[in-house]
Structure 1
């Protein structure tokens, strides 16, 4: 059987689920270990023992093992606390690292021969930093540092694995730099987001269509309204909010929104999203191309059209032109505790203030919208399980505050960004899931299509046109309780015909996506022309628009926003809220991927929204 070492074992360590004695001397135990090579990176040489290195110990947060239970308590429709979301202050107080944790790690470092002037505790106790030589770091971690080189020429220092004393493990989430590989490649192609995901196109459309007759070849807002029964108009838009996240240098063009409005949404003419700049995020207009403008134009044109001009839409533009931004930079801005005492940042993330660029660091400066859609993603295997666990916990905190977090599931089926597959113990073509879709505290959105010759009233299938809906099973995160039954049913009734060496066949891991929406043949105005665009990048903002309308209806009745939706949508109360997708698959890694099936499947999730039924189900909740 293929063993995914970081999956359930390392995650337990990361979340502090294993208790150990507090003896000052204890045996070393493996804390993190890579099970496969990072895509695009090659071992070059052993790192120099005399080189200087900044070790950073991410200190474990308190009560983090219970965060899923707390989130389920306010998110499950059968809970008496449904919709009773937490304040930011309560979240910060509940999960702050303890003084015991800080003291334990400091004591171990001193007893290991590190001098006190080499050690620094960050002001809010999230990290302990150690200025050391490589030789000292290797002695601390019982490991050897190597230099790796990316296909682009960028070099990075990393370990194959490292160990910590048994009594220290529960106090440390992870250590950097160690097994985590920086997904941000500084020499990336212009306009390619550093997460490596962006929509695809078949080119310019010379003649666009109106009405519902050609929705199988050109998707428009009218097609989507007919597909999913969207007929709601916002009643209290001033009480509601919808946010779209973009990463510089990607940016929209106002003249593209105006061109789109002229053909499909007249009320949007001259309307702009409300810009919230994070760490110097700008709407750059100096360069234009599909890769620079396609994502933002797609996201904003369809999100704005479906919620209408009455509902203001917030654009979270993250990162200046010099540094760019990561998901952690965005999370820092939403939650000050994450970038201060909980230490959300990783050294691989863009750092602010940056030299010659943005002179500040946005930390807790941004109010999160009720629904936030992100059409970018990492390949899970490029990150360490500890890194993803820490970030995943932050999405849980946003859910506790009543925020709905949506992420596109990826466009390469069972493969990672760019179609990359993993290798393990000589086995190649191993399925490569996407993060944050594998985080159990976000909602992952896959893609469907209207089949050629079909109408908006016929069943859709999984998207197999230009892109394949990302889906599969995490190698890091355990299956959440809300998903146990559907995963068991799928694997029992539709067992994938693949050897267990190429996918996580345990049945005990988080599966994705959760829901889907159309992701093929979108007509989008980009750089002054209409183009056909494909991707889960389209699906996520469309689902976000529908959930924003649900929130409007609830807020109009004095109810709370829906927050983290997964426990609800997997419950029996939402049995009629989705259109089941039972045809198509998500090819990748030289396979046909997983097959769609009746009920939930790892291609299209629960299916596409039936908006009237979905709205009815949520309005029935307190």
Structure 2
């Protein structure tokens, strides 16, 4: 997946270019972006050679981002007269296109730094300026120093600057992000075959967990405390619905290669739980070489995708096609930006690429990988899209996350509901690690470590619940505390959106966490998550011809997506628009009481019991689990 960083290293270690003299900037440099600490495992090994070449990419500040939440609320809040009047992709692209002033200012700055006009290119979307520059030129432009860094475990090397880079004041306001600079790859791998981290078994805060094979398979409501099957979910959330507008409706499930579903496992699952669907397959949209033809199999490779598709497909039923966004090839892998590029052509960067420190680049010139160009547009977003993968916030820089978060808002403007799993380690990061006082992930850390995109205010974050051992399916659920703990808490990057301020304030005022004064989480008024939840424990999942017990918010997200897709179907059947970005609606007074409130359990981590579930919204189960008839009735009342 790290094609660009490998190319960078080759350039830094051996490719020279003629360096041009550069003039001093027109205004003082100011710190533009900072990395508090190196990601775990990375260390500098030497200074980058001054005459070597870097592919400098400058992400221009998009227009009207200060009004992004206002625009989104205008089409998403149930009290807005424009509710449901979603934007066209063309309107989105035009509204947020960087200004001519931004382009001219950055071009002039580059010219003052000795980068001639013929070396600078503006990408077709108008969002990025690119130029090949020497390390010496980049260090002068950005007032920083470049090093070659190496990862202790993988041996992977890449080039980046030290702890910060700077821009002239008059330029900084026109720039969102510059690469390559501070952004380390969160998906460490070597060309020898270690796959991209997003899809690699056991990586990321959200991957399904298993306690092993099921010896006796149940499919009775009396056994839902031991095994969750589709009938249990239908009973839990009163979810019975026959689709009426399947040709208008759409639901998408995102998978990142090498995670891949096994077709024969689908049939085994359907044979036991939805016999009319035997032989049915998802409609696969291959993005950048996405494939289910991967080497090997078993729970680590098939568990995630099998879980997502078996439950999403069985819950929406035979007549509603499910789209599989299979993203990235089996060698280079993919990132969230790879998906976003395909969904929105205006999001693509220079020549369809992305941040070379974070995202893969295609075609793969080394052979063996996907040989086509990086897909830029061409995929129609489904009305509801579910993703069961995520990063830790600390893995990424704020600028990288903020730019991506804005793209989720744009999808919301276009009427797309985007769901992400909230995480499986409670208030901790992947593997139960927490932050120390220096901002490092550490086994001895005691500061909560939020996830991304869970903390982005423009997605719907989904936590996990459970049927308690010995309880009936009609009894109240609790926050999940079997094998996994529902991810939740407060972002360290994103401010609290207006739509959730009342609900979060109510929680913090009536039920102040016992550790609120200890400085272990962000108390400055930040985005709180999750927004909703669904069952995440004891799922029966077919994998390689056998059934496994599976746990995780990985299950909660596609189940929620299936239920919301049925709401869309009902609205489309009577000539209304899809529900789009749902958060302003579900937090509003109109939707009070339409979720099954979860008041038991917590999400432990970092030496604490985490946040306790309480009446109303809480940072472990959100507003609660779906009550389908109530949700359907409220959304059918909206325009």
Same fold (TM over 0.5): yes
Deviations 1:72-125 (A, max 9, x none): 100000000000101111111111112211110111121133344543333443
CA contact (8 A) 1:39 1:422 kept: no
2:486 alignment counterpart:
469
* Cα drift, residue 420 of structure 1: 2.9
| C-alpha displacement of 1:375 | 0.4
Partner SS state of residue 253, structure 2: strand
Change (3 A) 1:156 1:415: farther
Q: 1:521-532 to 2 correspondence within 5 Å?
A: 521-532=538-549
Q: Are 1:171 and 2:184 matched, yes or no?
A: no
**2-structure distance, mates of 1:358, 1:245:** 22
Query: Structure 1 residues 86 and 57 mapped into 2: Cα distance closer, same or farther (>3 Å)?
Result: same
Q: 1:401 aligns with which of 404, 414, 417?
A: 414
With the length of structure 2 as denominator, give the TM-score of the two structures: 0.90
Per the alignment, residue 27 of structure 1 pairs with: 28
Q: CA deviation at 1:520?
A: 0.3
Other-structure match for 1:246: 255
Q: Does 1:549 align with 2:558?
A: no
Q: CA deviation at 1:340?
A: 5.1
From the superposition, tell whether residues 88 and 517 of structure 1 become closer, same or farther in structure 2 (CA, over 3 Å). same
Q: Secondary structure at the match of 1:92?
A: helix
The equivalent position to 2:331 in structure 1, one of 305, 312, 322, is 322
The aligned runs of 1:520-599 (5 Å cut-off) are: 520-599=537-616
Aligned to 1:332: 341
TM superposition shift of 1:371: 0.4
1:442 maps to 2:459: yes
Q: Compared with structure 1, are the counterparts of its residues 42 and 463 closer, same or farther at alpha carbon in structure 2 (3 Å cutoff)?
A: farther
Asked if the contact 1:125/1:342 (under 8 Å) is kept, the reply is no
- What does residue 11 of structure 1 align with? none
Give 1:604-619 correspondences, 5 Å limit: 604-619=621-636
Q: Which residue of 1 aligns with 2:227?
A: 218
Q: Which residue of 1 aligns with 2:240?
A: 231
Q: Is the 8 A contact 2:480 2:601 kept in 1?
A: yes
Partner SS for 1:488: helix
1:510 is the counterpart of 2:527: yes
| 1:66 aligned residue | 67
Residues 1:156 and 2:158 aligned together: yes
Could you tell me which of 255, 263, 273 is aligned with 2:272? 263
User: Are the counterparts in 2 of residues 221 and 305 from structure 1 also a CA contact under 8 Å?
Assistant: yes
Q: Choose which of 452, 459, 471 in structure 1 pairs with 2:476.
A: 459
**Cα distance per residue 1:380-432 (max 9 Å; x no partner):** 11111111111111111111111100000111111222323223338833211
| Matches of 2:33 and 2:303, distance apart in 1 | 38
Alignment CA distance shift 1:90-1:116 (3 Å): closer
Distance 1:564 1:499, change over 3 A: closer
Residue 363 of structure 2 corresponds to 353
Q: Match of 2:173, SS?
A: helix
Task: Tell me the residue number matched to 2:431.
Answer: 418
Count of matched residue positions in the alignment of Structure 1 and Structure 2: 600
1:50, 1:387 → 2: CA distance?
28
CA contact (8 A) 1:430 1:501 kept: no
Question: Unaligned regions of 5+ residues in structure 1, if any?
Answer: 1-22
Deviation larger for 542-551 or 596-605: 596-605
1:62: how far off? 1.1
Q: Secondary structure of the residue that 2:222 maps to in structure 1?
A: coil
**Residue of structure 2 equivalent to 1:6:** none
Partner Cα separation in structure 1 for residue 520 and residue 394 of structure 2: 13
Distance 2:92 2:170 in 1: 27
Assess if the C-alpha contact under 8 Å between 1:97 and 1:342 holds in 2. Answer: no
Q: Give the 5 Å matches for 1:359-378.
A: 359-378=372-391
Judged with a 3 Å threshold, the aligned counterparts in structure 2 of structure 1 residues 266 and 33 are, in CA distance, closer, same or farther, namely same
1:183 aligns with 2:186: yes
Deviates more, 1:419-428 or 1:502-511: 419-428
Secondary structure at 1:376 match in 2: coil
